[in-house]
């Protein structure tokens, strides 16, 4: 039985942080990548290797104080690398990771900070229906508050592309609001 | 302009809440740590391999730090020297003339990134949403460059006391002509979430005081360069913020 430890304090060296990430999340990253890549273990290993290298290169900007957020971040990076590999292999029939995706509900929300519960559920559906290439940079921007430069490094895209995708992700959500008559 | 910024801030607050909640719910769909461990147990060999990668990176970053310090000292020396040169009125006038000539020559700016092929925008998608009162818009044809657009905003006379030139290019056009200036009054900012650099120049031509400003910004598809003569920084930024594509 593995005992999963408490979060790091944030004062560790890079080596200690990578050691922690490997021990805590490497199996999960492999599991996430394998799901994207139709269970192909070799491809999943390659994808997770790419993800670990990205994490190592950017360990200085990764916040390790919140274990849950760090866990999600590792999964995002692993999934993103798996998707990149999938695209490059041009496999159209791979499974994708099941994320609660209420995309069938296309109602949208007001863009004010105080919204009703129903409206909030609708905006979550809109986020779920965002293409991953917009959704991941937006998550890293809004949840993790990374700068565009760091988002670009973590996702393996140019910095300007990261900025463009965040902007367009936001515009796509706002477009949906506008179509439903919520956006000013 | 303030209303737009307030609205953007409100949107960002809501989006932050929404993305956080989305991520919390997405977490439920992931395998548990125990399940992942059973499926893919970690190996000591892998662990040591990745730790070895960290060591290599730490050694490389020490060398990089030394290089950065050297570069900073050199850059400081160059900036002081150039700052002293800009005290000379002839140098300042030459810089102003350069800014004006950039408008007419349609200098290309390259943002050195590969293009994202989906949702690619064209220069014809660009709209200019704000024109200062009293000024008129004129679009010029650029020979041999069908993807370029040049727009002039000025008084409806030939005096051109106030003048704004907007050059619109595809970002992946190859260009040897323009790079980020190293003048002391260049500063980085942001226009609608896109990185921008701005240049302010105060000088005089033939005894007449003149102020020139440039803003360069864009994304992977479209680059915009705006050069303004005798127009305030705030007005130029407002023009920039109301350019959309």
From B51, which residue of chain A is nearest by alpha-carbon distance?
A: A15
For residue A161, what pLDDT band results from cuts at 50, 70 and 90?
confident
Question: With pLDDT > 90 as the criterion, what percentage of chain A qualifies?
Answer: 30
- Distance in angstroms between the alpha carbons of the first and the last residue of chain B: 18
Q: Residue B168: helix, strand or coil by DSSP?
A: strand
For residue A140, what pLDDT band results from cuts at 50, 70 and 90?
very high
Q: Can you give the pLDDT at residue B194?
A: 80
The maximal CA–CA distance of chain B, rounded, in angstroms, is: 81
Q: Can you give the pLDDT at residue A76?
A: 92
Helix, strand and coil percent figures for chain A, each rounded to 5: 65, 0, 35
- Residue B22 CA to residue B78 CA, distance in Å, equals 50
Q: Can you give the pLDDT at residue B94?
A: 65
- Residue A81 CA to residue A79 CA, distance in Å, equals 5
What does the pLDDT look like over A60-98, one tens digit per residue? 888 888 888 899 999 999 999 998 888 777 544 444 443
Q: Can you give the pLDDT at residue B63?
A: 57
**Which of B23, B111, B119 lies closest to A72 in CB terms?**
B23
Cβ contact B26–A161 (<8 Å)? no
Enumerate the residues of chain B whose CB falls inside 8 A of the CB of residue A26. Answer: 40, 42, 46
For residue A134, what pLDDT band results from cuts at 50, 70 and 90?
very high
User: Rounded to the nearest 5°, which phi and psi values hold at A24?
Assistant: -85, -40
- Residue B140 CA to residue A179 CA, distance in Å, equals 35
Query: Residue A143: in which H helix or E strand, if any?
Result: none
Average pLDDT over residues A99-125: 56
pLDDT tens across the length of chain B (245 residues): 566 667 777 778 888 888 988 888 877 778 888 888 888 888 998 999 998 888 766 666 665 666 665 565 665 556 555 665 666 666 666 666 665 565 555 444 434 444 455 567 788 888 888 888 888 888 876 666 677 888 888 876 555 578 888 888 887 764 434 444 444 466 777 888 787 878 877 766 667 777 788 888 888 788 888 888 888 888 899 999 899 88
Beta bridge partners of B188: B197
Higher pLDDT, B193 or A126: A126
Q: What value does the mean pLDDT of chain A take?
A: 78
Q: Residue A177: helix, strand or coil by DSSP?
A: helix
User: Rounded to the nearest 5°, which phi and psi values hold at B204?
Assistant: -145, 150
Please, are residues B51 and B43 in contact by the beta-carbon 8 Å criterion? no
Average pLDDT over residues A11-23: 87
**Which of A56, A120, A159 lies closest to B54 in CB terms?**
A56
DSSP state of A93: T
User: Rounded to the nearest 5°, which phi and psi values hold at B205?
Assistant: -125, 125
Question: With pLDDT > 70 as the criterion, what percentage of chain A qualifies?
Answer: 76
- What is the model's pTM? 0.55
* C-alpha pair distances (Å), B35 with each of A143, B27, B40: 26, 14, 9
For residue A3, what pLDDT band results from cuts at 50, 70 and 90?
very low
Q: Can you give the pLDDT at residue A97?
A: 40
Assess: ipTM above 0.85. Answer: no
Answer yes or no: is pLDDT of A141 > 90: yes
Q: Can you give the pLDDT at residue B24?
A: 81
Q: Can you give the pLDDT at residue B103?
A: 52
Using a CB–CB cutoff of 8 Å, tell me whether B37 touches chain A. yes
**Which of B10, B21, B46 lies closest to A112 in CB terms?**
B10
Q: Can you give the pLDDT at residue B230?
A: 81
State how far residue A64 is from chain B, nearest Cα, in angstroms. Answer: 16
Average pLDDT over residues A139-143: 92
Enumerate the residues of chain B whose CB falls inside 8 A of the CB of residue A97. Answer: 29
Q: Can you give the pLDDT at residue A49?
A: 94
Which residues 6+ apart lie within 8 Å of A87 measured at CB?
none
State how far residue A181 is from chain B, nearest Cα, in angstroms. Answer: 16
């Amino acid at each position: 039985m593995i005992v999963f430890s408490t979060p790091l304090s944030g004062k560790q060296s890079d080596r200690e942080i990578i050691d922690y990430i490997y021990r805590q999340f490497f199996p999960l990253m492999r599991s996430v990548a394998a799901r994207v890549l139709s269970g192909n273990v070799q491809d999943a290993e390659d994808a997770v290797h790419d993800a670990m290298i990205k994490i190592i290169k950017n360990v200085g900007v990764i916040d390790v104080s919140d274990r849950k957020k760090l866990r999600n971040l590792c999964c995002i990076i692993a999934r993103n690398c798996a998707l990149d590999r999938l695209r490059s292999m041009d496999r159209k029939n791979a499974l994708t990771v099941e994320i609660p995706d209420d995309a069938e509900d296309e109602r949208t929300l007001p863009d004010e900070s105080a919204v009703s519960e129903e409206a909030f559920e609708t905006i979550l559906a809109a986020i779920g229906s965002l293409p991953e290439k917009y959704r991941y940079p937006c998550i890293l921007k809004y949840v993790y508050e990374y700068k565009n430069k760091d988002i670009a490094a973590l996702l393996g895209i140019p910095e300007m592309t990261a900025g463009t995708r965040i902007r367009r992700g936001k515009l796509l959500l706002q477009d949906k609001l506008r179509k439903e008559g919520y956006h000013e | 302009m303030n209303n737009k910024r307030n609205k953007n801030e409100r949107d960002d607050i809501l989006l932050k809440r929404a993305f956080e909640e989305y991520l919390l719910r997405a977490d439920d769909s992931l395998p548990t740590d125990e399940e992942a461990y059973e499926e893919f147990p970690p190996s000591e060999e892998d662990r040591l391999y990745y730790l070895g990668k960290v060591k290599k990176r730490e050694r490389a970053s020490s060398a990089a730090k030394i290089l950065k310090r050297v570069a900073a000292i050199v850059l400081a020396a160059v900036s002081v020297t150039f700052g002293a040169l800009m005290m000379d009125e002839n140098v300042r006038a030459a810089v102003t003339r350069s800014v004006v000539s950039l408008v007419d020559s349609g200098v290309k700016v390259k943002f050195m990134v590969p293009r994202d092929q989906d949702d690619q925008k064209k220069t014809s998608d660009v709209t200019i949403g704000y024109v200062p009162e009293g000024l008129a818009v004129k679009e010029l044809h650029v020979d041999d460059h069908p993807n370029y657009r040049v727009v002039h905003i000025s008084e409806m006379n030939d005096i051109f006391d106030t003048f704004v030139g907007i050059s619109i290019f595809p970002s992946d056009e190859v260009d040897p002509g323009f790079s980020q200036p190293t003048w002391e009054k260049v500063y980085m900012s942001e226009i609608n979430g896109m990185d921008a650099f701005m240049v302010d120049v105060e000088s005089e031509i033939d005894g007449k005081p003149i102020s020139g400003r440039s803003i360069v910004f864009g994304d992977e598809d479209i680059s915009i360069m705006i050069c303004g003569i005798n127009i305030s920084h705030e007005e130029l930024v407002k023009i920039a913020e109301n350019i959309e594509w």
